[in-house]
Every structure is written in structure tokens, then in C-alpha cells.
Amino acid sequence: MNILIVSQCNKRALLETRRIVDQFAERCGDRVWQTAITHEGLKTLRQLLRKTARRNTAVACHWVRGKNNTELLWLVGNAAKFNDQGRVPTNTTERLILRAHTENQWHTLEDIALLAAIAALFHDFGKANVLFQKKLRAKVYQLTSEPYRHEWVSLRLFEAFVLRLTTKVSGTLLDQHWLEALANITTHDEADLLDHLKKDDGGKTPQPSPFKRLPPLAQAVGWLILTHHRLPKAPTNGDSRSVDYMDSYLTKALRPNWISPQLMARLWKEDEFEKVWQFSKGTPLQSHAWCARARKVAERALKRSSFYQSSSWMNDVFTLHMARMSLMLSDHHFSSLASEKKYWSTLYRDKQYKVFANTQPNRTLNQRLDEHLVGVYRTSLQWVRFLPLLRQSLPSITRHSSLKKRVTDKRFLWQNKAYDLARNLREQVATQGFFGLNMASTGKGKTFANAKIMYGLADEKLGCRFSVALGLRTLTLQTGDAYRDFLSLDDDDLAVLIGSQAVLQLHNLAEESKQKIEDKDAKSKPSENNTIEKCPGSESANEWFDESTYVKYEGAVGDGILGQWLGRQGKVNQLVSAPVLVSTIDHLMPATESYKGGRHIAPMLRLLTSDVVFDEPDDFSAEDLPALSRLVYWAGLLGAKIVLSSATLPPSIVEALFLAYQSGRMAFNRARGEVAQQNASSITCAWFDEFSSEAMTVKNKDDFCQSHQTFIQKRAEFLEKAPAQRLAEIVSVSDLVQMPNHNALSSEGDSGVFERVANRIYRSILALHQRHFVVHPTQKTKLSIGLVRMANINPLVAVAKRLIGLSPPKGTQLHYCVYHSQLLLLHRSKLEQQLDTVLNRKKDDAVWSHPCIQEAIDRHPEDEHIFVVLGSPVTEVGRDHSYDWAVVEPSSMRSIIQLAGRVLRHSVHIPNSPNIHLFNENVKALRLENTSNSSSLRGSFVFSRPGFESSYYQLSSKQLTSALNEDQYRVINSVPRLCERETLYPTENLVDLEHAYLKVMLLENAERPLYAARWWQHPAHWTYELQRQTPFRHSTPDVQYAYVIDDELSDPVMHYWHSNGELKSCSYQFVHEANTVQCANGVSFWGAVDYLEALYRLYDNSESDLKALSVRFGSVTLPELSDEAKWAFCSVMGFYKPLE
């Protein structure tokens, strides 16, 4: 292809551009190049330009397609130097003095700057106390904390500064009064401030909350001071405040232990309480440098009457949280700088004021306190000024041919309609936001449709930026590869966040990468929270990102202020900069779920500068949905457009997430100028599936619910008319059937339960195979691949042990594969690699050519081969697997529908008999019925963990024949989840139970006070209380283990990661059961992975030592054990707890 390169770079950027482009093309002028080049060469050229791009870079690439025909391919750097076609202007006008195109969109930008600046000047006042200064000067860790954190002391000092004026003004104390006092502040005001200081003394003389008497603006500044490191929360060992009183948390309930948990950790001496309130060297009011800046910002604030006359600052969520983010980012940046020999070392501090704010890593004193406060003040003003330009300063996807390309495959033609609708909504969503629902069926291409929708919605001049938030960690690299391969997204467009570099290395090996394994993480221990500060006083300089997380991104990172400030935070910069981000939702959750340490800043910046696709949001447990709704609210608050992508979205989840998004977007609109305020409550909503694409503007809940109901009713009609590919029947587990030539069945205890379940599965496997096999194209060999899904891992292994002891009929060979989450990392990676290949059945006869299948068939001469995956719920969602049939232990209708989507996923075959067997009772119900377990399991919920049965709703019958109507399961599709019946019977019907429970968890009700809607109905975001009581992914504590082998002459031994970061042996907690796994005649394992063999193969091709490899790739995370319990493990079953 022939290309033309045009550069509009300036200064050093021009020199760098010439250096790079000269290697690929010949110059036609000082700033123009032309050449013939391959696609790969052009890709490399673009990558090099993007990696070295800076503020003055501006390069356009044109494709010369023929006579008088050129097409703009891409732009690198400042796109404002070119128009839509890549042309440069003949002439330019003067710059816009009013900057209406940026600042007017930020109606409260000046308020954000003033709030952050004033709070910055007071935020570390409390560090001047005697006890904190003693901690800074200690040579060893003699003192690691004070009874009250410095934020609390700072807040009390600010309270005293404001309230000391109460006796000096007539009438009510106003914000104007303390601003005027600040505008006239001098070093002589300190004595008056300290005279009015309220000193907490450990509870002997209880003091009211500092927020009780402060005027509105002072409350907002006080909240910023209090929360610049962490959000307040009630002590877990104290009185748990009822959420019914959430509105008065700050003004009435707040106490020092909400921000200073160490207050309850030990007994403090009386003199320690006294020294916290002693300032022997004075407060920063004694610094002339500080007073000068305080007077300056107060005068600036007094010129803005709306700033100090407003009475609703604590209701302005967007403005206050943007001010908090700006304050924390500025504090983090300035704290990381060494004070010595910097230009500000004399400008920002008073020579006579010798109180310090922090230390360097070697524990030498670093910044003076007044210097630190002034530095953070100036940095926050710089950052806020940059906020309107943040989005356009980051890399984005523009003019992407694959995302605009029309789809021709008949199965995916609906994507063209979805893209067209999104393009038509482009101008509208800029002011109204976007709440989209992609409800296309499993296998219809939702993943790619989401990308096309987001690209269609984006302003083509500004470019497209979006994040894909997944529920499962194992799907991140898989989704990243799909985007890279099918949408032609390069590594400089796409970032993938994964759990560790070990996961990436195994993935690359699975993709036949030639890259050698590098020994970068020989001791890849899990991240931990150290209770001792490495640099006392420098809490703001701590890392914002989990050090064990690896970001796979090779593109340019943010330039300018953002790039400078986040220079030490490479992973954060990559997370924020990448045009497309693929990660688990866990990486965005800290935006609302982070308690301390600034870990919310990176996801906040991401949400502020990109849109979000929430993949399978209804796959989270019901207990996680309140946290999910908080994140959706935050996405709306920060101006992101969102798409919920799932074929099984229940009405309650859709309604709750819409209300969360609308509430957040309204707050965003109010803060972003008059144009947006005209439609503050209007949200552009759209619905997509394989049948239609619709959109409308919605102003209230009733209109939205009515529109959604209309859409899903149409969808339900289409689904019910579609040919039925997934037919189910309920089969009994209770019947004891003696198989020929098999041992007599037991009916006693758990053993009897597991034998009956194994017996039922065995019969279903044989029956379903006979109805749904495929025949070899040239031989008489018959084959089927089926899935047996069980709810929990331990019963799965107990049943698997019995299944492999049941011989099939003559002429039949059974091949079993056990797949769940409790496998060694290397084992699971290799197994998933095989399953992904075998179960990719988009080509009819591809399965016969797979080495794993060929080897199994060649080894056994039988004509009938049945391949069975015995799996846990990890088999249900996300993986692109296609089975011939399935056997299901029921947990919920959601899991049944999702698992059914794996049956005939890549086939258009229409079966004439059921291809899915549903157990009438699950294992928990069978164990409950068993007389030997009745005492320990009585009252248990059987459709729970996983499932929705709880203390709110419990089914009266444990049998599926009573809990489901025939029309709800005979033909399995998403209709039962999509459509909610007018009258629900949650104690009688499994589907109704799910809908009713979701309502209780999400929407306002009297039964459960901690419903999700409290987040946007009440001022919950000023504290961490709601997050503490409804946490995300709350489960039993986990322990990280590693199967370590020291050298080639040693046997592997299980180790665990101690809290001090060391690996310690724990072989006493594990029982190796290799000899207990014995297969009957006609039974074998397929897809089995020999861990040691796979590890040695890595070792042969690696420069790392064997121990380092085993630590990295032999890791597994397991629930914490009780005192005397032990784990069992073997090479084919993984890790499990014996149930008998």
C-alpha cells in the first residue's frame, strides 16, 4: 500500500518524528513523507510514533488508494492540528479566551478548585502535634501510630478556626464569615484558634461531631480534610450504626474511632492523648508562606458568591468527590517528591517554622509541613485546571475500519442495526448519557456487538474509549484475544489486566508463543497490607495498585500533567491511558469500594475518561449486587455511557441499575453546565438483541419499566417461536437402580447419597449419548461430548470417585475429565487450553482431528466413545464451549439457563428429544432427607450457595417437579429470567423465588434495610458504612498455597504464604490421595494433566530455576481450613475436602 505521512509537530516532537519516519519512508518535504509499505510495517510505524508521542506531536497518515483518492488511516498525537479528513488549516483564528468548549461544560470547575485548594491548606494541620513529630524523628519503629489520626486532629483544628468566630458575629455563623477571617489571617491568630480547640480525651469527656455546628461550605471542606486518606466507618467491634440513621452519620454518629481504628486496638496512656493536642512548635498558622496562600485563596473564594452562599454542598456528589480525588492525587504526587534543592524549598516554606510533614524512604526528614501544605495547594489548582482537557489528552480509537465494517454473516446481521442505531444517537447521548441493554442470545456475538455499539456512540473526532468489565478472572485474556483477533485491535489500543504475569505467560504458551519465560516474579507473593508505614508521614506516597496485578499494554500512556504525576505509578497510568481496557470488574470496583489509600483514583479516572460494558452483570451473587449498583451509579456520576450485556437480565436488576445510573448521571449533569441541566433527568436508553434494536429518551422509572417490559415481551415471543435446541426433562435421583455387574448400592449416610447421584448420572450419560451422538465421517465410531454440572466441588469429587468405578456396556468407552476452580494454576491452564480447543466445534468435523480425542480413540478399540466433563459452576458462563448434552444438578434457574447455553452452542441442529437432564433433587436436598444428616442439616437452604434461597424466602418443596412449571423448563431459554409474573409465589416456585429475592436485595423494601437503592436515595457515599455492611465478593477467608519443588531430586511439598511474605511448609494440612483413584473397565480419563511433567517441560525451556517456577505456576487459592480439617488432593481431582 502507498501511504503519505504529514507531520504538524513542533519543537522536540518534530525531531523525534523525523527520526522515526525517516527509517520507513522518503521525505517529500520538511514535514511530508511518501512510501510503499506493508500492513505490518505500517503497524510498527504507528506503534513507534505512539510510544514516543508527546504534547507537541501531531502526525497524520493517508492511504493513497488511487488517482485523486486518499483516505485518512490514523492520527497520532494532537488531532486538533487536522480536520476530519486529515487536512491542515490554511489559516487559524485567535484562541478562545472564554474557552467555552471546555470550561463551560464544567459548571462547578471553579468550585472544585476552591474546595480542593482550601482543604489542601488544612489537610495535614494535625501533623504538627508533638506525638506525630516524635514519630517522624524516631530512628526505629518505636511509635507507629497515635491514638487519633492526623486527619481527625486536622479536622478539629479547622473546626476551631471556623467556630471561634461564633461569638464575634451577630446572628448565625455563615461561610462568608470564616472566609473573610481566612482572607485576613495572620500568624497572631493561632492562640485564638487553640483556645477554641475541642480536645478528645479517649471518651472521658465526649465531644460532639465536628460537623454538627459547621456551616455548609465548612462541612464540605471538613469532609475533604477528614477523608483525604480514608473514609470513615463504624468500628466493627463497637456499635454497628443502623442504616436507618444514615442521613445523620456525619453530624451525630461520627466519633474519632470512625477514622482512627487504632483507638480501640490498645490501651493508650493519658499523656499520649494529651500530646496529640499539644503543638510545641506551633501550627502552620505561624508560617508566613502558608498565611499568604490562605489569604489569596480566600480572596478568590469571596469573589464567587455562589460558592459561599450555597447551602447544598453535601448534596453535590460530583463536585465534592472530584475535589477529593484532586486533593488526594495532588497529595500523593507532592509527597513523593524530595524537598532538598527544589525550587519551591524556599518559596513554599517559612525558614522559622521547622515542623515536618513526612520522611524519605531512608527515614530522613523530607518536607516541612507548611511547604507540604502549600505544595499540595498549588498542585491541586494545577490538576483541576487540567480536568476539562483530561479526556482529549488520552489515546483513543478513531477511524477504525473493523468496527465500522458491515457484518455479512447471517447470524450476526443484527450487529449492523445495533451500530446504526448507536451512530444515530451520538449527539443525543453527549448530553443525556446512555444506558444500553444488549440481550442477544448466547452465541450471537454480544462481545463484538458491544464494541461496535460503543464505537458508534463515540464522537468520531474525540475517539472511542471503553472498558469491558468481566465477572470471571479467567475470561480476561480470552476476551482480549477475541478483540485483538476479530476486531483488529493492536496492543497499543488494548490493555488487558490479569491476576499475575504467570497467568499471562501460561496464556502465551497456550497460544504457541515463542517468548521465553522471564524470571521477573520469582517470588510472586500475594500483596498484603503492611501495618507499619515504610515512610512515616508519607501515607499519600503509597502504591495505588495491587502489585500482583499485571497490565498487558504496549501503547502510549498519558502525557502532560497526568503522565508526570502518575510517572511512578506505571500500572495506573496504563490502566487510565489504554483506549480499550479488558479486566475483571474487580479492577473498577475500588472506585466505590476502596476504604483507604487512594486505590479509588485509578478506576475513577478510568470512568471519567471512558465508557463501560458490564459483561454478564446478573452472574454475580445476589449479595454482590448492591456493590455492582454502586459502581453503575459511579459510572453515571462520572459521565460514562454504559452497556449491560447479558441474555438473562431480570427486570429487578435492570430497574435497579437504571435507577442507579440515572441518579448518578443527574448529579453529573447538574455539575456540567446549563445545557446539560435542561435534561438533567433524561437518559437515552437502548435495547439490542438479535431480533431488533430500539431506543428512547426516558425521564422516570415508570417510563423506563414500561419500555423495558414492551421490549422483553417482544423478545419472549421471538424466543418461543424459535426452533428449540435445548430440551430438558427432570429425572429422579431418589430411585435406586441396581446396574448389572455392579456392586450393591448403599442407602446409608452421605455415601448412599453420593452413590445414588453417581448412579443417576451414569444412567443419564448413557441415555443422552444414545440420542445425541455424532458419527465419524469415514468410520463407524460414534462420539458425544457431554457436561455434568454440579453445584459444589466437594460433592463433585465424591460423585466422580464413584462414577469412575461404574463400567459402561460392552463396546462403549467412558472418558471423564474433572474441571473446577481448585486446581493448580498450571494444571488448570493446560486443562482449559485443551477444553477450549476440543469444545470449539464451529466446524462440524473438527473434533475428530484434535490430538486429545484421536489419542483417546486410538487407545481404546470400542465403537462408542463418550467424553464427559464433570464440572463445577465455572463451566456455566463465559467460555466458548459447545456440548452435545448436559446433566444438571439444579441450584437456580439462572444457572440452568446459562449452562443450557453451552449445549449445541456452535450447532444449528434441532434435537427431537431432550438433550438436558435436570435432577429432581440436588445433593443438599438428598443429604437433608437422609436420616443420618437430618440433625446437622435441618432447616438448611438447598437452593443456596449457589442459589437464591435464604431466610427471606425458602421453597416449601425441595423437588424440582414441584418448584418449576413444565413450561419453565421443557424448552430452556431466557424467558423465565426476562419476564416476571404479575403475582409471585416465592415459596412455591423457583423462578418466582429468584425474582422476589432480587427485589429484596436491590429495591426499597421493609424486609431488608440494606437494600442497594439506599446508596442513591441517601447520602451514603460520605462514609464507608454501606460498603462495610454490604461488601463486594464477601466470602470465607482464602489462603494462597504453592506446590513447591526445591530441585530435581526433591518431591513437591505444599507451602502457604505467611502474613510476613514468607513461604512456609504446610504438608500436614494435605493428604495425597493418588492411589484412591481407580477406574473400572471401560473407563479412563481424558484431558488429564501431569503437573510435574508440565512443570519440567517449562523448566527445560526457561532460564528460571525449578523452585521459582513451581512457586509461580504451582499456586492455588483455597478457603481457609478449620482447626483440624485437611485438604485432599490428587492429580485428576484437584483439591477438595473429603465428605465421608
Q: Pick from 864, 869, 859, 954: which is nearest to 903 by CA?
A: 869
* Residue 32 bridge partners (DSSP): 6
Phi, psi (deg, nearest 5) at residue 27: -75, 140
The SS3 call for residue 3 is strand
Q: In this predicted structure, what is the pLDDT of residue 557?
A: 59
Mean pLDDT of 46-62: 89
> pLDDT tens, 836-871?
999 999 888 889 989 989 999 999 999 999 999 999
Could you read off the pLDDT of 1091-1100 as tens digits, one per residue? 888 898 888 8
pLDDT at 1124: 76
Position 739 scores a pLDDT of 54
**Over 50: is that where the pLDDT of 750 sits?**
yes
pLDDT at 921: 94
Show Cβ contacts of residue 407 under 8 Å, excluding neighbours closer than 6 positions: 413, 415, 416
Q: How many percent of the chain have pLDDT more than 90?
A: 58
| Mean per-residue pLDDT, 786-790 | 98
Cell numbers for 893: 434457574
Q: Write out pLDDT tens, residues 771-782.
A: 999 999 888 999
Least confident of 148-152, 313-317, 341-345, 1005-1009: 341-345
Name residue, grid cell 427471606.
952
pLDDT band at 471 (very low <50, low <70, confident <90, very high): confident
- What pLDDT, on a 0 to 100 scale, did the predictor assign at position 937? 47
Same fold, 2-81 and 728-942+958-967: no
Alpha carbon distance 646, 655 (integer Å): 15
Q: Which sequence spans correspond to the domains of the chain? A: 2-81, 108-235+244-389, 728-942+958-967, 1038-1136
Q: Is residue 881 predicted with pLDDT exceeding 70?
A: yes
Determine if the peptide bond prior to 946 is cis (ω within 30°): yes
Mean pLDDT taken over the chain: 87
Q: How confident is the model at residue 169 (pLDDT cuts 50, 70, 90)?
A: confident
Task: Give the closest residue to 47 by CA, choosing from 27, 83, 23, 70.
Answer: 23
Q: Under CATH, domain 728-942+958-967 is a member of which superfamily?
A: P-loop containing nucleotide triphosphate hydrolases (3.40.50.300)
**1122 band by pLDDT with thresholds 50, 70 and 90:** confident
Q: What is the pTM of this model?
A: 0.90
Q: What is the CATH number of domain 2-81?
A: 3.30.70.240
Query: CB 1047: neighbour CB atoms within 10 A?
Result: 8
Mean of the pLDDT values across residues 317-340? 90
3 within 8 A of 65, measured Cβ to Cβ: no
Q: Which amino acid is at 26?
A: E
CB 845 within 8 A of CB 778: no
pLDDT band at 939 (very low <50, low <70, confident <90, very high): low
Least confident range of 367-381, 462-476, 628-642: 462-476
Looking at the predicted structure, is the pLDDT value of residue 111 above 70?
yes
CA separation (Å) from 40 to 31, 37, 490, 1022? 23, 8, 11, 51
Query: What pLDDT sits at residue 530?
Result: 37
Q: What DSSP assignment string belongs to 1027-1096?
A: HHHS-TT--S-EEEEEEE--STTSPPEEEEE-TTS-EEE-GGGEEE-GGG--PPTTEEESS---HHHHHH
Give the pLDDT band of residue 521 (cuts 50, 70, 90). very low
Please compute the mean of the pLDDT values over residues 275-298 and round it to a whole number: 95
Report the pLDDT averaged over residues 680-691: 94
Percentage of the chain beyond pLDDT 70 is 88
Instruction: Return the exposure string of 849-880: e unless at least 16 CB atoms fall within 10 Å of the residue's CB, then b.
Output: eeebbeebbeeeebbbbbbbbbbbbbbbbbbb
